Amino acid sequence: MAAARPAPLLKDELDIVIPTIRNLEFLEMWRPFFEQYHLIIVQDGDPWKKIKVPDGFDYELYNRNDINRILGPKAACISFKDSACRCFGYLMSKKKYIFTIDDDCFVAKDPSGKAINALEQHIKNLVTPSTPHFFNTLYDPYRDGVDFVRGYPFSLREGVPTAVSHGLWLNIPDYDAPTQLVKPLERNTRYVDAVMTVPKGTLFPMCGMNLAFDRELIGPAMYFGLMGDGHPIGRYDDMWAGWCMKVICDHLGLGVKTGLPYIWHSKASNPFVNLKKEYNGIFWQEKAIPFFQSAVLPKDCNSVEECYLALAGEVKSKLGELDPYFVKLGDAMVTWIEAWDEVNNSLGTKSAKILPNGTSKKA
Ligand SMILES: O=c1ccn([C@@H]2O[C@H](COP(=O)(O)OP(=O)(O)O[C@H]3O[C@@H](CO)[C@H](O)[C@H]3O)[C@@H](O)[C@H]2O)c(=O)[nH]1
Ligand SMILES: [Mn+2]
């Protein structure tokens, strides 16, 4: 009799969140790695459009009607017509871990030609500590066959809990529109076999297309902002979340890793459309990044929510001078926390499970 396949890692502790405007045939390629996990699909755009999900996947699907029904007036904090909508899936999940992936990201191959189980690598990244306080020159010391190098303080070798695992992309790199315009044919062919901790006090450009995090450690900070329809900016959803998240991780002593796993990013979005979306962001980030670099959270902020609300106040007062958009964004950050508390407390009791109006889970 064939040996039973081992249950996938953290099968019942992880949700896969997919923002989408199209049918999800891409899941066929991920089937060997994803089929045992629960998916949360956030359908953006026209809620009356039917999204096809391949048979055999266990999922819940939320469209804009569901978001409005579940959150009521608070739904205004969830972006429309931008991949930022994915954070609604983080709100609705009840699992400890989240992996989010775009629907134009496929299984990549490592240099030996082996298919990369991106989910498995993210899980390894999340369940092992990070080293934000002192850089290990052999990179991830917790990986098989590696260790801390000479001179690494023993007092720091325990590391800190890992909150975020940021994966990368072969083929189409996540370039901004100006770079896409001047380098339309550039492809990322470089597979770097490393996982690194982003040092404390250092920000980084977090891309949402191949990203995993510990929802219990950092979930409330993973708000993807006000983007897309009705807002003067787009394609800065993941960047905004990454800057807020990193400041809070540094304050609370949590770690962020970047590097493996790779996915194969198949489709370049239109650089001209992207330029229109990113235009304000390209200017505003020159002010926003120094704001985050100098942000100091109150010592008595001991929870992610408290940190996030303190940061929201700073965004309104300090970045609000840059543009009134940041006053709205600061308010939306507060609404997000209110929604987070409301949904998660109501979901505490079984009967309160809020089912999607769209297509609910399939056995
Ligand atoms: O209005 C929309 C547009 C797209 N989506 C879904 O979001 C992801 C990403 O879309 P796409 O692959 O077309 O865009 P990219 O430029 O490659 O995305 C990168 O830029 C960031 C923009 O914020 C994004 O996080 C990166 O991945 C797909 O799943 C689309 O279906 C959407 O929901 N709404
Ligand atoms: Mn893409």
Q: What are phi and psi of 19, to 5 degrees?
A: -85, 140
Give, using CA atoms, the residue closest to atom 29 of ligand 1: 102
ipTM: 0.96
Q: Is residue 6 part of a domain?
A: no
Residue 81 CA, ligand 2 centroid: distance in Å: 14
Q: Which structural domain range is residue 142 located in?
A: 14-347
Residue at 5 is within a domain: no
Q: What's the CA angle centered on 172, arms 170 and 173, to 5 degrees? A: 80
Structure confidence by residue, pLDDT tens digits, 316-333: 999 999 999 999 999 999
Kindly report, residue by residue over 184-242, the tens digit of the pLDDT: 999 999 999 999 999 999 999 999 999 999 999 999 999 999 999 999 999 999 999 99
The answer to whether residue 212 is domain-embedded is yes
Number of domains in the chain: 1
DSSP H/E element including 197: strand 195-197
* 17, 39, 78, 209, best to mutate for ligand 1 pocket (most atoms within 8 Å of CB): 209
CA angle (115 as vertex; 146, 13 as ends), nearest 5? 75
Give residue 268 CA to ligand 2 midpoint distance, Å: 6
Residues flanking ligand 1, CB < 6 Å: 19-22, 44, 81-83, 85, 102-104, 174, 207-209, 228, 235, 237-238, 267, 269
In Å, how far are 60, 170, 332, 350 from 57, measured between CA atoms?
A: 10, 26, 33, 23
Residue 105 located in a structural domain: yes
Ligand nearest to the CA of 177: 1
Q: Which of 24, 51, 80, 102 to mutate to test the pocket of ligand 1 (most atoms within 8 A of CB)?
A: 102
Q: What is the CATH number of the domain that holds 189?
A: 3.90.550
Task: Tell me whether residue 352 is in a domain.
Answer: no
The amino acid at residue 200 is K
Which ligand has an atom closest to residue 86 CA? 1
Q: Specify the pLDDT at position 265.
A: 98
